[in-house]
Structure 1
Amino acid sequence: MSRTAICRMLPGMSDTGNSSRLEARVPTRVLDMIKRAAELRGISVTSFVIEATAEKAVQVIEQMDAIRLTREEQARFAEALLNPPEPTEALRDAARRHRDLVASKS
């Protein structure tokens, strides 16, 4: 994935303009591996590290943002959407208060 493609995926990240410095100490073996991978891709070590870390960051964020439900939970959720329960008295009161509040501000 190119840096430009990653930039499009990440709001606020652009190819030019603002950048921040990131420093890290890595074992020599890891740095050698990173250099080799960058060389194989025909890109700089910096570009490779930015690309790889951004891809991993997107993957982690997407995994953490996803709501995962078991089959039973999926079925209960779908049932609640298709056949919602009757509103409770507390919900009706809250709806009335909201309606009155919104009406009084208009």
Structure 2
Amino acid sequence: MIPADSVLKAFSSFGFGMLFSGLHFGGLWMTLRVLPYCRRPRLFFWASYLGRIAVTLWGFALVMEYGGPAWMVSFVGFYLMRAYLLSRVSGAGMCDFLTMKRMTWK
């Protein structure tokens, strides 16, 4: 039987990976929406990029304290959330992103 602690750790790591992905790509979406209206777009872009990367890496470092398997489950959650968000934005199905099929954007 699998210990309850391992299952809880896996589910929470997966959820944190999805959260990190939502923050990272949600921040990217907001950056691209606000960028045309900024007075200093280059500074805004790089500040947003470095902030998003820092938060994402910090989150993965926190998960890494629970071991490699927790980090891998977190990364799977990050990737699946990314695929879901891309499928919602592009209008393609999520299976097209997971199988890497060539698609046309709407």
> Which structure has greater helix proportion?
2
Q: Which protein has greater RCO, CA pairs closer than 8 Å, 6+ apart?
A: 2
TM-score (norm 2): 0.27
Indicate the structure (1 or 2) with the bigger Cα radius of gyration.
Answer: 1
TM-score (norm 1): 0.27
